[in-house]
Amino acid sequence: MAVNVKTQDFEEQVAKASGPVLVDFWASWCGPCRMLAPVIDQLAAEQTDVKICKVNIDEEPGLAQRFGVMSIPTVVLFENGQEKNRSVGLVPKEKLLALLGR
C-alpha cells in the first residue's frame, strides 16, 4: 500500500529515503487520479525495493507548489531526495515501470 505523505513528514519519507521513491500527486475530485490509484497500489505491492507515496494536493498545496505540479495526476521519481523523472496524466502501468527503469 502506498504511504500518504504530509508536508511535515515529506523530508523523512521522501527526501531522506534511501533508494528510489515514487510520489503520486493526486486529489480526490480528479477522475484520472482515481483511475491511477489502483495502479499505484499495485506497484507498491509488486515493487518492494521502491517506496511508493501519495500526496493529496488539496491537503498539501505547498508540496504541489514546491515541485511545480500544475496538472494531476503527476508522478515524480525521487532518488536521494532529488527529482529524477516525472510523468503527468493518466498513464499505463508500463509507463510507470519505465519511469522506474524497469
Query: Could you read off the pLDDT tens digit of each residue along the chain, which spans 102 residues?
Result: 899 999 999 999 999 998 999 999 999 999 999 999 999 999 999 999 999 999 999 999 999 999 999 999 999 999 999 999 999 999 999 999 999 988
CA distances from 40 to 22, 45, 91 (A): 9, 9, 11
The fold of the 3-100 domain, in CATH, is Glutaredoxin (3.40.30)
Predicted confidence at residue 1, as pLDDT, reads 83
List residues with catalytic annotation: 30, 33
CA distances from 20 to 15, 35, 70, 81, 85 (A): 10, 23, 23, 9, 11
